[in-house]
């Protein structure tokens, strides 16, 4: 009997085939699992609070401010509702402005928020002559419900909340996605600053 026909050879061959199959199986399992793990890690974290504000804030030292939120009306065009909210007392007006805008974008504690969850402040600049330049993300404009009244109400709520609470701010100029845009979300002109 030749070597090829021997039982030992068959056993070796079987072992080789089994090892190959096991390797392939392990490879497939590992590959698919690693893809799932990769997917899970890609989930973006929940929108974090403004890190600059968090760093400067002292939980003990708070101030009660009146912020304004847009409330759509039954027979339009809606109104601004003043609501009191406790915010961290920050000496830097720039950080205070960031905090106020963040709170307005977050919306009222109860009821509907005209801004979507994707709304985000990109940057805010305080100019010496009393203009706050508020640069909002494209998603802020895109996430609005779509009507002209809501668009106007959203901008007015930010303007009012800033000008009423900050001495350094008399008017608010809006940018979208870092750009000077003719309109905020397709209707309301933001060519010139808003003021009270």
Residues in 133-162 at the binding interface with another protein, rule: CB under 8 A: 137-139, 141-150, 152-153, 156, 159-160
Using the rule CB under 8 A, which residue among 5, 59, 109, 129 binds another protein?
5
Give yes or no for residue 7 binding another protein (CB under 8 A). no
Report, in Å, the least distance between residue 105 CB and another protein: 14
Report, in Å, the least distance between residue 54 CB and another protein: 21
Give yes or no for residue 195 binding another protein (CB under 8 A). yes
What 3-state DSSP class applies to 117?
A: coil
Place of tokens 């905090």: 99
Instruction: Please state, in angstroms and rounded to a whole number, the distance separating the CA atoms of residues 24 and 46.
Output: 38
**Beta-sheet pairing, 194-195 with 131-136:** unpaired
Report, in Å, the least distance between residue 81 CB and another protein: 5
Nearer to another protein, 101 or 165 (CB): 165
Report, in Å, the least distance between residue 36 CB and another protein: 11
Q: Which run of H or E residues covers position 125?
A: strand 121-126
Ranges of beta strands (E only) in 111-168 are 121-126, 131-136
Instruction: Please state, in angstroms and rounded to a whole number, the distance separating the CA atoms of residues 165 and 148.
Output: 26
Nearer to another protein, 50 or 174 (CB): 174
């Amino acid at each position: 009997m030749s070597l090829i026909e021997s039982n030992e050879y068959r056993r070796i061959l079987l072992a080789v085939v089994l090892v190959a199959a096991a390797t392939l199986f392990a490879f497939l399992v590992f590959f698919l699992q690693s893809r799932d793990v990769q997917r899970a890690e890609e989930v973006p974290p929940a929108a974090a609070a403004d890190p600059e504000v968090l760093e400067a804030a002292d939980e003990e030292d708070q101030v009660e401010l009146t912020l304004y939120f847009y409330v759509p009306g039954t027979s339009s065009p809606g109104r601004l509702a003043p609501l009191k909210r406790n915010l961290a007392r920050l000496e830097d007006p720039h950080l205070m402005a960031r905090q106020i805008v963040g709170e307005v974008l977050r919306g009222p504690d109860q009821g509907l928020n005209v801004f979507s969850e994707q709304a985000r402040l990109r940057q805010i600049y305080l100019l010496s002559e009393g203009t706050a330049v508020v640069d909002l993300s494209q998603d802020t404009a895109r996430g609005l419900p779509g009507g002209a009244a809501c668009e106007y109400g959203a901008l007015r709520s930010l303007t009012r909340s800033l000008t009423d609470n900050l001495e350094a701010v008399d008017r608010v100029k809006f940018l979208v996605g870092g750009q000077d845009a003719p309109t905020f979300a397709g209707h309301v002109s933001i060519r010139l600053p808003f003021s009270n």
